[in-house]
Structure formats: structure tokens, C-alpha cells
Amino acid sequence: MAAETPLTGRIRPGSEPMWIDEYEAHGGYQALRKAVGKMKKKEVQGVVKESGLMGRGGAGFPTGVKWGFTPMGDDAVHPKYFIANADEMEPGAFKDRFLMEGDPHQLVEGLAVSSYAIGADVAYIFLRNHYRLARKRLERAIEEAYRQNYLGKNVLGSGYNLEMRLHISAGRYICGEETALISALEGNRPIPRAKPPFPGASGLFGMPTVVNNVETLCNVPHIVKNGAEWFQGLSKTDQAGTKVYGVSGRVNKPGCFELPMGTTIREILEHAGGMTDGYKFRGVLPGGGSTDFLVDEHLDLAMDYQTIQGAGSRFGTGTMIVLDDKTCPVAFVANLMKFFGQESCGWCTPCREGLPWLARVLYAIERGEGKASDLDLLSGHTDKIWIGKTYCALAPGAIEPLQSALKYFREDFEDHIQNKRCRWS
């Protein structure tokens, strides 16, 4: 395994993943053997916290800190739950799919070790409905892990019991929001929950629960095995680890690339083979569909949480979508807005009513039916549909591409309105 690509090193795109024997031969389940029953739970938490691992699902919250919210000790309530958030539906994101299809045991091991760290009794993998191949592979990996007693009763004789279940989502974007995911897993509508209480105190079925992204969990075995310092050393910046970056759009080699955290956008685009001939780079949503555009001036920024935030966007899932010079930014944003409006759970007013309205206005502009006042209407909404004003982060996420498009591509909007047509169609 190449040291620089711990997460993807075992993956052989286009071929079968490593099943149990091969996985074990390549260092698999050593972290689990090292941790379960041999390390105290708090020690496992400690090394992950020390490593500086931050959530790879979009919010970038320190993983060890999140684990620390669950009640520990002999008088802690049970059952406790650990959930792998495999409901990858962020526009532009396919990194978790790559990891699950390519190395399913890595997730199973990561989830098991993480479950041990908080003393979880049951672990769930909440998988996106459409990830059929990942489903098949995870099912087999779980079964193999049970057979080797990496899961189940009395794991490796440690006295620790862990059941692991694969749950197939009914399929909504909002299920990726961790509290909506919990609601869905309970069999309820996927409506997010207000915090507090946090899932660490009252999550699945009202019990202490941790939800972590697939990529986050895949890091855990490597951290436990190689230590916090090793993990920090992988990065180019002070935010530790590698990152499975993704690139889509009109580039020569769209795909996933595991690179040191803090690799610049330009370098990542180079890994993706640069722009397709005849297309010029115009902008990029750096962290998936729900992040603000960055443009030329940002290409040499390091792709990490802090730097991207400093530039007025979000690191998100680290899976960028490139806007080229032959694609209409209004249509681009309208399409995203329509998606987010459709994926609203329908609970809070700004998201349920506001996003579809914005989508209609954007499509009207795109069709050449826009009015001058529409720009005020759009920009007025970017203020009002924002964190704290909406119930969860879905709608603010939908606003991010719009507000940044209004900032960087305003002339395109004005051109549509003034000339009553889209100049790309």
C-alpha cells in the first residue's frame, strides 16, 4: 500500500475488490485487532481526536470531538448506535461510492473500530438506494466479517458485541443530513431535527448515536494502526490526512483522486487532465453542488476546510464541479436550484416554498422571460434563506451556487434579462 493513498491504495478500479483473505493479507482488520479489547475505548477516541480527522461528509466537524459527545462509562444508557452515512447524493460527489465499491472491508472495519470507540451496540450503514453494486459488495463484506468474528457476539473474544446492518435508503438527498437520516432509519419521514439535543445524546430511537461519513470512517483504521502523527503527516496543511477529491465537468479525466489534504485546486484539476479541448475554465463549485463558486483567482488556493472557507466558499465533500465557458451559468444554477427544491423535505417554509420559486424565476430568466426586478428577488432571497433562518442546511446550501453566481456571473443574468434570450442556446 502506497503510504500517500491509504484510502484508495487497495482499490483496483474495474476489478473485484479485495475480499476477506486478500484484505487481511494487505493489512486489513489489523486496526480492529489492535483496538477491540486491547485498547480502552477512550484511547481509541483519543487517537482519532489527536489525529485531527475532520468529517468528510461536508461539515468538517472534528470526528473525535463528535464521538466525545456520547455518554461513556458503566452507567451510560444502551443501546448506543453508530451509523455510517453512505447516502451520497451531493451533486458532483461519488467518492464514497468509489470507496465502498472498491474496498468494502475498509468501511466495515472503520465502522467496527469506530463503534467500539463509543461502545456502540449496533452499527448501521445507511446506503443510497441507487448504489446497487456497493450494496452487493458491502453485504458480502459484512457477512465475511461476521464469519471471522470481526462482528457479532464477543468480537475476537474481547467481550465486545457489535451487530452491523446494511440499510438501503428509500432515496432522498435530505437523508444525507444526519438527523434526517436518523428519522428515516427509524421509519419516519426524513425530516431533520433541531439541535440540541444532539444525536450523541438523543439520536436513533432516542438513544446516543454517532453518524459519520463513509470516507471519514475509512480513515479510522489507518489512524488507529499508524497513529495520529502519521495521519497529520499525510497532509500539506494543518488539516490532517489525505482527501479523496473528485472532479466532474468538462475536464479530460473526471474522477476521484486521493491526494494530500491541501492540494491546490489547480493541481487537482491537473490530476483530472485539465479542461477538455475547446473549453475554458470559468468557475468551480469546490465542494459539491451546495457550495459557492470559486473562479480563476482562486485556482492556487489549497483545497482544505479553512482556506476554501476563507475564499467565501465551502470545502464540502471536496468533490468539485467545473463550470466551463460554453455552459450557461444561469441554466447551471437553475438546474441545481430545481434539484434542491425537489429534494426539500417540505418541513420549513423558506426551503419548501422558497427554493421552487427561485428555480422558476431562474428558468424564466433562462428562457428569456426574466424581469429586471427578478435580480432583486433573487438576491433578496440569498439573504433570507440562510443558516439559522431555515431549519437545516439544505436550503442555505442551495443558495450558495446562486449567490456566488450573482456575484461572479452577474453580467450573464443581466444579459438574459436585457436581451430576452440565453446566448448559449
Partner 1 sequence: MVTIFIDGVAYDVDGEHNLLKTALELGFNVPYFCWHPALHSVGACRQCAVKQFKDENDTKGKLVMSCMTPLTDGMHVSLADPEAQAFRASVIEWLMLNHPHDCPICDEGGECHLQDMTVMSGHNYRRNVFPKRTYISQDLGPFIHHEMNRCIQCYRCVRYYRDYAGGDDLQEFAGHDNVFFGRYKDGALESPHSGNLVEICPTGVFTDKTFKQHAVRKWDLQTAPAICTHCSLGCNITPGERYGTLRRIRNRYNGDVNGYFLCDRGRFGYEFVNDDKRIRKSVMRYGGSATETDAATAASKAGELVSAATRVIGIGSPRATLESNWALRDLVGEGNFYAGVSDRQEALTEQAVGMVRDGVLSGATLAEVEQADAVLVLGEDPVNTAPRLELALRQASRRAPIREAGERVHVPEWKDKALRVTVQDKRGPLFVASPYATSLDRIATDALRRAPADIARFGYAVAHELDEKMPEVSGLSDDEHQLALRVATALRNAEQPLLVSGTSLGSEEVLGAARAVAEALAGRKASARQFLVLPEYNSAGLALLEPRPFSEAIALAGRYRGEDGDGTSTVAVILENDLYRRESKDVVDGFLGNVRSIVIDHSDSRTAEKAEIVLAAATFAEGSGTAVNNEGRAQRSLRVADPSAEILDSWRWLRQLAGDTEAVLDSVIDALVADLPQFEGIKECAPPATARTGGRKVPRQMPRYSGRTSMHAARDVTDHQAPADEDTPMGYSMEGHHHAAPSSLMTDYWASGWNSVQALNRFQEEIAGPLRGGNPGVQLLSGNRAAGSGMASANRPAPAIPEAFSPRDGSLYMAPHYHIFGSEPTSARGRAVALRAEEPYVGISSRRAGELGVRGGEPLQVALEAAEGTSRTVTLPARVMPELPPDVGCLPVGLDDEYFTLPAWATISAANKGGSA
Give the interface size with partner 1 as a residue count (CB under 8 A). 39
What is the smallest separation between the CB atom of 203 and partner 1, expressed in angstroms? 8
Residues numbered 198-237 forming contacts with partner 1, rule: CB under 8 A: 201-202, 205-206
Q: Can you say whether the dihedral through the CA atoms of 255, 129, 23, 111 is positive or negative?
A: positive
Contact between 76 and partner 1 by CB under 8 A: the answer reads: no
What is the smallest separation between the CB atom of 371 and partner 1, expressed in angstroms? 8
**Exactly one of 13, 171, 310, 346 binds partner 1 (CB under 8 A); which one?**
346
**Exactly one of 13, 159, 197, 273 binds partner 1 (CB under 8 A); which one?**
197
Cell match 457476539: residue?
Answer: 153
> What is the rounded radius of gyration, in angstroms, for the C-alpha atoms of the chain?
22
CB atoms within 10 A of CB 423: 10
Vertex 164 angle, CA 153 and 217, to 5°: 120
What is the smallest separation between the CB atom of 122 and partner 1, expressed in angstroms? 15
3-state secondary structure at position 290? coil
What is the smallest separation between the CB atom of 194 and partner 1, expressed in angstroms? 5
Q: Under a CB-based contact definition with an 8 Å cutoff, are residues 106 and 137 in contact?
A: no
**Exactly one of 252, 349, 418, 419 binds partner 1 (CB under 8 A); which one?**
349
Question: What secondary structure, in 3-state letters, does 45-105 show?
Answer: HHHHHHHCCECCCCCCCEHHHHHCCCCCCCCCCCCCEEEEEECCCCCCCCHHHHHHHHCHH
Contact between 348 and partner 1 by CB under 8 A: the answer reads: yes
**Exactly one of 2, 25, 194, 372 binds partner 1 (CB under 8 A); which one?**
194
* C-beta closer to partner 1: residue 86 or 362: 362
* C-beta closer to partner 1: residue 349 or 419: 349
Contact between 367 and partner 1 by CB under 8 A: the answer reads: no
DSSP secondary structure letters along 299-348: TTSB-SHHHHHHTTS--TTSEEEEEETTS-HHHHHHHHHHHHHHH--S-S
- What does each C-alpha distance from 320 to 14, 133, 240, 425 come to in angstroms? 23, 24, 20, 25
Provide the pairing of β-strand 242-248 with 319-324. Answer: parallel
Give the whole-angstrom CA distance, residue 153 versus residue 161. 4
3-state secondary structure at position 392? coil
**Given the rule CB under 8 A, which of 99-107, 142-150, 235-243, 385-393 is the region that contacts partner 1?**
385-393
**Given the rule CB under 8 A, which of 21-29, 269-277, 352-360, 397-405 is the region that contacts partner 1?**
352-360
**Exactly one of 353, 411, 418, 419 binds partner 1 (CB under 8 A); which one?**
353
What is the smallest separation between the CB atom of 201 and partner 1, expressed in angstroms? 5
Q: Packing angle between helix 214-226 and helix 95-102, nearest 10 degrees?
A: 60
Residues numbered 390-409 forming contacts with partner 1, rule: CB under 8 A: 390-391
Contact between 129 and partner 1 by CB under 8 A: the answer reads: no
* C-beta closer to partner 1: residue 130 or 352: 352
Contact between 148 and partner 1 by CB under 8 A: the answer reads: no
Q: Catalog residues that contact partner 1 under the rule CB under 8 A.
A: 77, 172, 183, 186, 189, 193-194, 196-197, 201-202, 205-206, 341-350, 352-357, 360, 364, 373, 377, 380, 384, 388-391
